Amino acid sequence: MDPVVAEARTFQLFIAGEWVDSGGGRTFESRNPADTRDLIGHFQAGTAADVARAIRSAETAGLRWRRTPAPKRGEILYRFGALLAEHKERLARAMTREMGKVLTEARGDVQEGIDIAFLMAGEGRRLFGDTTPSELPDKWAMSIREPIGVAGIITPWNFPMAIPCWKMMPALVSGNTVVFKPSSDTPHCATLLVELMAAAGFPAGTVNLVTGPGAEVGDAIVSSPDVPVISFTGNTETGRRLATQAATRLKRVSLELGGKNGIVVLADADLDLATDGILWSAFGTTGQRCTAASRVIAERTVVDPLLERLERRAKALRLGSGLDSGTDVGPLVNAGALSKVTGYIEVGRREGELVTGGRRGSSAGLEHGHFFEPTIFAGVAPMDRIAQEEIFGPVLSVIPVDDYQGAVTALNQVRYGLSSSIFTRDANTAFRAMRDFETGIVYINAGTIGAETHLPFGGTKETGNGHREAGHAALDTYTEWKSIYVDFSGHLQRAQIDNQPG
């Protein structure tokens, strides 16, 4: 039965290869943010006891999984990627229904999952370490990657399939097992993913799904002594709390947190191209990407022609259900997001000049959803609150500056450092920007969104804690280095001593 048209049913946890109810006996609902009358399903409100069972199951499965040859593990990832591709449309529709992004973007989200599954499937035949000469004769040295153990995977709703895949694929291919706690806004997406993981042949216990509140399920994962590595994507305050809690157990924690990404537009830019890049980055996914552009930093001489283009184009964007092909911008994810964005409109009115938007979507058909108009503020100063704080909605601030140096200063003057971009036709300036922009990702003549899965993804400053997802860099989060020395000389050789004169 297609879950998208099914009656709302009650979904279960996935522990030790079985779909089971929570021991706590409570459930929560997931609803369509474009029309909250549409109930997607009831999901288990997991408890600390459920998490403990999931961790035990992951530990047990790990004993075998870590001994399974990595190329064999990779084959299962490959099958999972193929299943995602086969079910792409069904998954994308379920995603749009559950979290709102327009269907083309939901397809892109699934595609990102496919891409990382295939990339990491290939890692099953790489997982490279080093072999290197020893400083002593008749001695050999190498380093290998080893799995860490049970990985706690705590994910957000905005990329409800791509981000879990970014985390689980490298964790699994390198021999770890997983306890997966998805956002309570997207438990259905998580369930569909895990169903396909089971179908792909991940052995019982290698992947466990526990839905439920962060305060209970997330907390139980983070505080468990038996989950040595945690990967979390979400807001900075939660990440900070989580890292603090995990530090008492000396856990490895990989954090992908907030962003306040900026697009620099210089006087020599192609303004039409810049306009396309800005609109896509600011209002795609209704501004709910960590990589979304919420600041445009423009040389004063081009502010007016740029604003004229942005205003005209933003006004033409159609709000609606992401399942309708005419829709450009879907709803915000929930009522909390709507009230947060609305609150920032008041702040923005005090700090800048409202150019367009600033209101809930009010046209017919939108009354049951969390819609908000694409919003632009002009005349914003770099240190204003709307230019500093992550709003996570369709709100863009335009900040005028005098020149390139002013743009660099404004761009870098935020606590985050995920993505940035510059529009210029000058190659020398573009290279300066690659050097000067203090972000983990830099785009030249493109917006701030659209990272590809074979490059490292992550940011500087309070965007994270130095780890990167995706690319082979992701393996660093989920593996422990082991250095191995083999002495075949037949006698004791002392490093640093026996090869030195005297």
Just list the catalytic residues: 256, 290
Of 480, 447, 446, 450, whose CA–CA distance to 115 is shortest? 450
Rounded least distance, CB 119 to ligand UN1, Å: 13
What distance in Å separates the CA atoms of residue 47 and residue 462, rounded to the nearest whole number?
30
Only one of the segments 196-204, 224-232, 267-275, 448-456 lies at the binding site for ligand UN1 (rule: CB under 6 A); that segment is: 448-456
For residues 93 to 112, the per-residue mask of contacts with ligand UN1, x marking binding by CB under 6 A and - elsewhere, is -------------------x
Residues 216-275 that bind ligand UN1 (CB under 6 A): 233
Of the candidate residues 222, 296, 391, 449, the single one contacting ligand UN1 (CB under 6 A): 449
What distance in Å separates the CA atoms of residue 249 and residue 351, rounded to the nearest whole number?
44
Comparing CB distances to ligand UN1, the nearer of 264 and 470 is 470
Rounded least distance, CB 159 to ligand UN1, Å: 5
Residue keyed to tokens 């780890």: 467
Comparing CB distances to ligand UN1, the nearer of 111 and 245 is 111
Residue keyed to tokens 């917006």: 447
> Percent helix, strand and coil across the chain, each rounded to 5?
40, 25, 40
Only one of the segments 44-52, 265-273, 284-292, 380-388 lies at the binding site for ligand UN1 (rule: CB under 6 A); that segment is: 284-292
Residue keyed to tokens 């510059």: 422
Q: Is 159 in the site for ligand UN1 (CB under 6 A)?
A: yes
Q: Is 158 in the site for ligand UN1 (CB under 6 A)?
A: yes
Query: Quick check: 459 and 412 in contact, CB under 8 A?
Result: no
Strands (E), 210-283: 229-233, 252-256, 261-265
Q: DSSP secondary-structure letter at 7? A: P
Comparing CB distances to ligand UN1, the nearer of 376 and 449 is 449
Residue 212, helix vs strand vs coil: coil
Of the candidate residues 40, 189, 290, 399, the single one contacting ligand UN1 (CB under 6 A): 290
Residues 28-87 that bind ligand UN1 (CB under 6 A): none
Burial class (CB in 10 A: 0-12, 13-18, 19+), 130: exposed
Q: Is 291 in the site for ligand UN1 (CB under 6 A)?
A: yes
Comparing CB distances to ligand UN1, the nearer of 17 and 450 is 450
Only one of the segments 1-9, 136-144, 444-452, 459-467 lies at the binding site for ligand UN1 (rule: CB under 6 A); that segment is: 444-452
Comparing CB distances to ligand UN1, the nearer of 22 and 254 is 254
Comparing CB distances to ligand UN1, the nearer of 410 and 470 is 470
70-86 vs 88-99: helix axis angle to the nearest 10? 70
Of the candidate residues 23, 122, 406, 450, the single one contacting ligand UN1 (CB under 6 A): 450
Q: Is 206 in the site for ligand UN1 (CB under 6 A)?
A: no
What distance in Å separates the CA atoms of residue 202 and residue 168, rounded to the nearest whole number?
12
Rounded least distance, CB 288 to ligand UN1, Å: 8
Runs of H (alpha helix) within 389-426: 404-412
Rounded least distance, CB 107 to ligand UN1, Å: 13
Of the candidate residues 145, 188, 251, 289, the single one contacting ligand UN1 (CB under 6 A): 289
Start-to-end CA span in the chain (Å): 79
Helix (H) / strand (E) element for 98: namely helix 88-99
470 Rama class: left (phi>0) / alpha (psi -120 to 50) / beta: left
Q: Is 303 in the site for ligand UN1 (CB under 6 A)?
A: no
Q: DSSP secondary-structure letter at 149? A: S
Burial class (CB in 10 A: 0-12, 13-18, 19+), 502: exposed
Of the candidate residues 227, 451, 474, 475, the single one contacting ligand UN1 (CB under 6 A): 451
Q: Which residues bind ligand UN1 (CB under 6 A)?
A: 112, 158-159, 233, 289-291, 449-451
